[in-house]
Amino acid sequence: MSSLLVVGSVARDTIHNNQGTHPYVLGGSAVFASLAGSFFAPTRLVGVVGSDFPDHEVQLLRDKDIDVSGLEVVDGQTFHWEGRYSDDLTSRETITTELNVFADFHPKIPDAHRDTPYVMLGNIHPSLQIEVLEQIREPKLVIADTMNFWIDGTPKELRAMMARIDLLVINEEEARQLADEHNIILTARKLLSMGPRIVVIKRGEYGALLFEGTDVFSAPAYPVDKVLDPTGAGDSFAGGMLGYIARQDRTDAATLRRAVVYGSAVASYCVEGVSVKKLVSVTASQVEDRYLDFARLAHFATDDDLARAAEG
């Protein structure tokens, strides 16, 4: 077993969903990804919060054995995002984004963490993602997430970041936007040509696609009948994926495929509760059960089929 380092936002979110309003609940890409990673391997979080950040939220992370020695506390208010989901939870509008102390964030990786082999660069300014890499010594695998805001706003920095990572995780719409292609195969090929040797395209309720060279893996989504809050699903997915990779301490094709499914398993729990509520109550054994649910969900080939497929 190895360990992972997660850098990203730590936030207090105000979420409006079909159940009502949930003010100042725990959020942020680094929080969801760390909680997801912590099911599998020792997890280190790097981020920043303001002096308003409640102690019990830090304790909640510590209780999951997440190393928060890289969590800076500075004067001011914590990053606050407020958003409203449509009743069917398929779309959301941002009401306010108050960057607060996050506006001046420059990630400082504690010296003891600079040898972490598996690194997740959460969805922050691509130049900050590069700043993290400058502080890390010979990582085995670096995953980065990004979003339309950086695709539109800082395309040059985004391309510089993409040239330095191993695996890009990106949602489908943003992948098409970044590649300026509609067809998903052509999109993936274009993203691979921009630097990362692996691309994972998140398709929400349609699962995920993993591309590495000419190899393609299609992971199903778990059919959840009680989605409450999609916030953090993508971050849980990436964090769970990297956590599994760190636990196995391998990056071969078969491990990556299973990592995508473990990430999906964690994300499928994440959306069943508001904020981190479900994520912190789930056990590693429940994550394993859901992984097996995915195996049942996707299985069709006979042993003979698989043997013939492996030859082809």
- Residues forming the site for a copy of itself (CB under 8 A): 88, 90, 182-186, 203, 205-207, 209, 216-221, 223-225, 227, 254, 257-258, 260-261, 289, 291-301, 303, 305-306, 308-310, 312
Do 234 and 141 meet the contact criterion of CB atoms below 8 Å apart?
Answer: no
Q: How far is the CB of 87 from a copy of itself (least distance, A)?
A: 8
Tokens of 148: 């339309």
Q: How far is the CB of 91 from a copy of itself (least distance, A)?
A: 12
- Using CA of residue 157, residue 163, residue 167, residue 172, what is the dihedral sign? positive
Q: How far is the CB of 149 from a copy of itself (least distance, A)?
A: 24
SS3 for 6?
Answer: strand
Residue closer to a copy of itself by CB (options 96, 214) is 214
Residue closer to a copy of itself by CB (options 66, 167) is 167
Residue 275 Rama label (left phi>0; alpha psi -120 to 50; beta): left
Residue indicated by tokens 């979110």: 13
Residue closer to a copy of itself by CB (options 149, 206) is 206
Q: How far is the CB of 172 from a copy of itself (least distance, A)?
A: 10
Residue closer to a copy of itself by CB (options 18, 59) is 18
Residue closer to a copy of itself by CB (options 103, 295) is 295
Tokens of 147: 């979003």
Q: How far is the CB of 180 from a copy of itself (least distance, A)?
A: 12
On the CB side of 230, CA atoms within 13 Å amount to 17
Residues whose CB is less than 8 angstroms from the CB of residue 271 and which lie 6 or more positions away in sequence, other chains included: 224, 227, 228, 229, 230, 233, 278
- Rg (C-alpha) for the chain, rounded Å, is 18
AA identity, residue 185? I
On the CB side of 266, CA atoms within 13 Å amount to 32
Do 47 and 72 meet the contact criterion of CB atoms below 8 Å apart?
Answer: yes
Residue closer to a copy of itself by CB (options 108, 190) is 190
Q: Are strands 92-98 and 79-85 parallel, antiparallel or unpaired?
A: antiparallel
Residue closer to a copy of itself by CB (options 46, 200) is 200
Q: How far is the CB of 182 from a copy of itself (least distance, A)?
A: 4
Q: Which residues pair with 141 in a beta bridge?
A: 118
